[in-house]
Amino acid sequence: MVVTRGEVPVELAQLDPLRRSALLALSRIVVRLYRLRRGRRVRFGRGVVANHRLRISGPGTVVVEDGANLFAFGGRTRLVARTPQARIVIGRNARLNGPLLQADTLIEVGPDCILGEAHILDTDMHSIALDRRSNPGAPVRSAPVILERNVWVARGAAVLPGVKIGAGSVVGYGAVVTTDVPPGVVVAGNPARVVRSID
Ligand SMILES: CC(C)(COP(=O)(O)OP(=O)(O)OC[C@H]1O[C@@H](n2cnc3c(N)ncnc32)[C@H](O)[C@@H]1OP(=O)(O)O)[C@@H](O)C(=O)NCCC(=O)NCCS
């Protein structure tokens, strides 16, 4: 089998042929089950890798593009499209190992991104208004989250509603990203700040 970028995840090139075939067979089962269960609310590209630790839920749409690797080792990779309008898009050759994504509007993970066990949410889920417990119509902030190409979000980090992270940037362990991040930098801390640039 010729392994080319975009057809199957790059990690699979390092596996011996037997393990690669087993993993692809398992992935095909997972993909098929989700297609059956979710119909038009899920789209998988070619060569997507996933295991039983993938959870896709909610009434919205989830799109996973060619060669994305959603195989989770310890935790679960959870993609929750919480409203009928919600969209979660996982780009080509992205690598997700146990993150939680919760979308009311849009979460876009660009091609070649890496997500560890991070939390990405495009909604606050509750209102900050004082009557939040008595008024079901209290306003809740929701705004798309965009990760451009080749962003790495490390374990324990959170990316909050409305944030755009520029291409190539890295979010350090445990960072809480509250505002946009330019391309080509490392951010860390709470709230996340630029700690260095990437040459
Ligand atoms: C993102 C990361 C790789 C960046 O490493 P780096 O570029 O070598 O960063 P540096 O060590 O040069 O740190 C630069 C500054 O940011 C600070 N910093 C780095 N990571 C930090 C973090 N996670 N939280 C708070 N501050 C951090 C450093 O203390 C340093 O501060 P100083 O300039 O005042 O001394 C690293 O921070 C990290 O998070 N590693 C863990 C990755 C991980 O979780 N992997 C699991 C799989 S996803």
Residue 23 lies in a domain: yes
* CA 110 – ligand 1 centroid, Å: 22
In short, whether 186's Cβ falls inside 6 Å of ligand 1 is: yes
CATH no. for residue 47?
Answer: 2.160.10.10
Q: Model confidence at 191, in pLDDT bands (50, 70, 90)?
A: very high
Partners of 40 in the β-ladder: none
**Closest CA relative to residue 91, chosen from 117, 75, 70:** 70
Residue type, 171: V
Residue 126 annotated in active site: yes
Among candidate residues 126, 132, 133, 196, the one labeled active-site is: 126
Partners of 108 in the β-ladder: 89, 146
Residue 43 lies in a domain: yes
80-118 burial string, b = 16+ CB within 10 Å, else e?
bbbeeebbbbbbbbbbbbbbbbbbbbbbbbbbbbbbbbb
State residue 7's pLDDT score: 66
Among 77, 173, 185, which is best to mutate for testing ligand 1, by the most ligand atoms less than 8 A from CB? Answer: 173
89 or 13, which is more confident? 89
pLDDT (tens digit per residue) in 7-60: 677 788 888 999 999 999 999 999 999 999 999 999 999 999 999 999 999 999
State residue 37's pLDDT score: 96
State residue 2's pLDDT score: 37
The residues near 84 (Cβ < 8 Å, ≥ 6 apart) are 59, 60
Q: Give me the number of domains the chain comprises.
A: 1
Among 151, 181, 195, which is best to mutate for testing ligand 1, by the most ligand atoms less than 8 A from CB? Answer: 195
Residue 3 lies in a domain: no
* CA 186 – ligand 1 centroid, Å: 8
Q: Model confidence at 3, in pLDDT bands (50, 70, 90)?
A: very low
Its domain, for residue 130, covers 10-197
Helical spans, DSSP H, in the chain: 17-38
In short, whether 119's Cβ falls inside 6 Å of ligand 1 is: no
pLDDT (tens digit per residue) in 96-119: 999 999 999 999 999 999 999 999
The residues near 134 (Cβ < 8 Å, ≥ 6 apart) are none
